[in-house]
Amino acid sequence: MVNVLIVEDSRISRESFERQLEASSGYHVKASIENAANAEIVCMSSRIDLILMDVCTADDESGLTAAARIKRNYPQIRIIIMTSMPEHSFIRKAKESGCDSFWYKEQGDITLAEICDRTMRGEFVWPDSSPEIMIGMAKSSDFTERELDVIRALASGNRYEEMAEVLFMSTNTVKYHVKNILRKTGFRSTIQLVAEVVEKRLILPKY
Amino acid sequence: MFEKLKERYRTSGIIRRAIDTYPGGICFTASDGRPILANKKINEICYALTGHTVTNGEGMWEELQQKKLRPETASCEDLQEDCRTVVCRLADGTVWQFRRLTFPANGREIIQYEASEITELYEYRARLAQKNAQAALLHERQRELMKNIVQNNLDKELLAAKIRIHDDFGQLLLVTENMLADTDHTQDAQSEQELLASWRNVIDDMENAAEASSKSTADPRDELVKVAGMTGCKVIFSGTQPQERRALLLMYAAVREALTNAVRHGGADSLTVEMSETPDSYRIRITNNGTAPAGPVREGVGLGSLRRRLEQEGAALAYTYADGFAVLLQIPKEG
């Protein structure tokens, strides 16, 4: 029997996952919580084999940070990161944290039971890319990695000088990237850009 | 002798004419401020500012520094870079920067006072300051917008879940209607059971959706106590917990870390959190009944990242070893 810990802040989704797992044979939901920061405490006390970890959990605690910590202390636990956010950096961060699989909850190309089975068989199940969305006139895939870094720094509320320091580039290079991003999207201001990328969840700076 | 004096007089005249044609003000004095040479411009500016010409360089400098100026003029302190610079605005609107320099000449110290017109620069600076203030305002609006957007996203997610429940509900209504209309009873008992189970699920979801809407700021204590209980450790709280959400979340981040360490390294089965407050801050003391650390606490990844998070928010983390080991936390209250 695979002992599962579900970390999901939406109670509707949490209980829906509980029902789906309890219905499939071989899984037992050991605990179900809403705050990722509490997940490690559960792992200390109970034998957990698999964690379904949401990224954006209660009180803005990041599932990616919690997963990295759990993988350091309990490397044998399999972790599936799940999200409905198209945030471009989540896949990379989940890989860096040592997670086993990644599931887009609302994409529907693979079911929860299927990803759990494959992960428990030792497979690493990862999507090829984050879902494509439109930001103004540009597709999310139209941005270069560096441009996405600049958008992230902008969305964190940094000034150009602060962005230059964080991104190890000159202020002029930051301005050059911002100009290109605005040209691609057709936006007139960075506020418009930030509002759109956060609203469409291409960037979620807290996680 | 006469020729020598004539030559000297001629040289002095040339120097005077030269400095009088200089567009700025310039004045050389002895170390006690006695003027040796001053051009017309510096006398005019000095008169416009102080009401007299340069009678003593050091006296003029003191008056400028102490802002003993005529009422129609003004000191522009925002442009003063150091103690050797003074900036003033004359009644005609022009802005002048005064600089004081000393240098040796013929074995004695000479002081040079120089006044340069920087009206254009000053206006640029003023416009720049105005633009910076506007940029700061926009920046603040952007930060505020960010905060709201994150909350809007959460609301949107909840709305999407509600829409899904609404769709499921509609679909079930249709299936039920068809089943009730099926007077020939072609549907088997299993289908009826499945329909009933689907109704239960959708009702559960509806109940949860209602609760999720009303519980956006749940108390983090509930879940922490629950997971602590799973480890066999009881968490006892005394005092009133912080009212501010930010302070509350910081406190629980620290309690969580203390709990992890107390159980993992100290084998504790009881953790006590004492909460108190001063007019400016919340003070938290966390103790446990496990084995105390043998020496000073060595901060690893967990405590290190907790300290960074606390310090970013202006809070402080400390440990005390006297009278048992305790983790101490001080979180400033918001303005």
Does residue A205 lie in a domain region? no
Partner residues linked to B332 by β-bridges: B281
Tell me the C-alpha distance between B20 and A204, whole Å: 66
Choosing from A67, A93, A120, the residue where a domain stops is: A120
| Mean pLDDT within A26-42 | 94
| Mean pLDDT within B164-190 | 79
Does residue A128 lie in a domain region? no
Q: Which comes out higher in pLDDT, residue A86 or B230?
A: B230
The tens digit of pLDDT for each residue in A138-168 reads: 998 899 989 999 998 888 878 888 899 989 9
Which of A71-75, A196-200, A201-205, B126-130 ranks highest by mean pLDDT? Answer: A71-75
Q: What is the predicted pLDDT for the residue at B77?
A: 66
Does residue A45 lie in a domain region? yes
Interchain CB contact of B143 with A (< 8 Å) = yes
Interchain CB contact of B217 with A (< 8 Å) = no
Q: Which comes out higher in pLDDT, residue A170 or B13?
A: A170
Q: B82: pLDDT confidence band, cut at 50, 70 and 90? A: low
Indicate whether B11 and B92 sit together in one domain. Answer: yes
Indicate whether B103 and B178 sit together in one domain. Answer: no
The model's pTM? 0.63
Q: What is the predicted pLDDT for the residue at B81?
A: 60
Q: A115: pLDDT confidence band, cut at 50, 70 and 90? A: very high
Indicate whether B202 and B248 sit together in one domain. Answer: no
Indicate whether A147 and A193 sit together in one domain. Answer: yes
Cβ–Cβ < 8 Å for B118, B111: no
Indicate whether A111 and A14 sit together in one domain. Answer: yes
Mean pLDDT of chain B: 85
> Residue B112's domain is classified under what CATH number?
3.30.450
> Residue A166's domain is classified under what CATH number?
1.10.10.10
Indicate whether A96 and A150 sit together in one domain. Answer: no
Choosing from B198, B214, B230, the residue where a domain stops is: B214
Does residue A206 lie in a domain region? no
Choosing from B187, B214, B241, the residue where a domain stops is: B214
Does residue A78 lie in a domain region? yes
Its domain, for residue B288, covers: 220-332
Residues of A within an 8 Å Cβ radius of B: 10-13, 15-16, 19, 31, 33-35, 37-38, 40-42, 44-46, 58-60, 69, 72, 84, 155, 157, 159, 190-191, 194-195, 198-199, 201, 204-206
**CB nearest B146 (choices: A10, A59, A155):** A155
Count of domains observed in chain A: 2
Does residue A129 lie in a domain region? no
Mean pLDDT of chain A: 90
> Residue A96's domain is classified under what CATH number?
3.40.50.2300
Does residue A204 lie in a domain region? no
ipTM confidence score: 0.81
Q: What is the predicted pLDDT for the residue at B159?
A: 78
The tens digit of pLDDT for each residue in B201-214 reads: 888 777 777 666 55
Its domain, for residue A138, covers: 134-199
Indicate whether B260 and B305 sit together in one domain. Answer: yes
Q: B80: pLDDT confidence band, cut at 50, 70 and 90? A: low
For A207, the closest chain B residue by CA position comes to B150
Q: What is the predicted pLDDT for the residue at B260?
A: 93
Indicate whether A152 and A75 sit together in one domain. Answer: no
Looking at chain A, the whole-number percentage of residues with pLDDT higher than 70 is: 100
Indicate whether A8 and A100 sit together in one domain. Answer: yes
With 60 as the cut, is the pLDDT of residue B25 above it?
yes
DSSP letter for each residue of chain A: -EEEEEE-S-HHHHHHHHHHHHHSTTEEEEEEES-GGGHHHHHHHS---EEEEESB-GGG-BHHHHHHHHHHH-TTSEEEEEES---TTHHHHHHHTT-SEEEETTT-SS-HHHHHHHHHTT-----SSPPP-EETTEEGGGS-HHHHHHHHHHHTT--HHHHHHHHTS-HHHHHHHHHHHHHHHT-SSHHHHHHHHHHTTS--TT-
| Mean pLDDT within B97-120 | 90
Indicate whether B38 and B98 sit together in one domain. Answer: yes
Q: What is the predicted pLDDT for the residue at A108?
A: 67
Which of A201-205, B136-140, B206-210, B266-270 ranks highest by mean pLDDT? Answer: B266-270
Indicate whether B235 and B326 sit together in one domain. Answer: yes
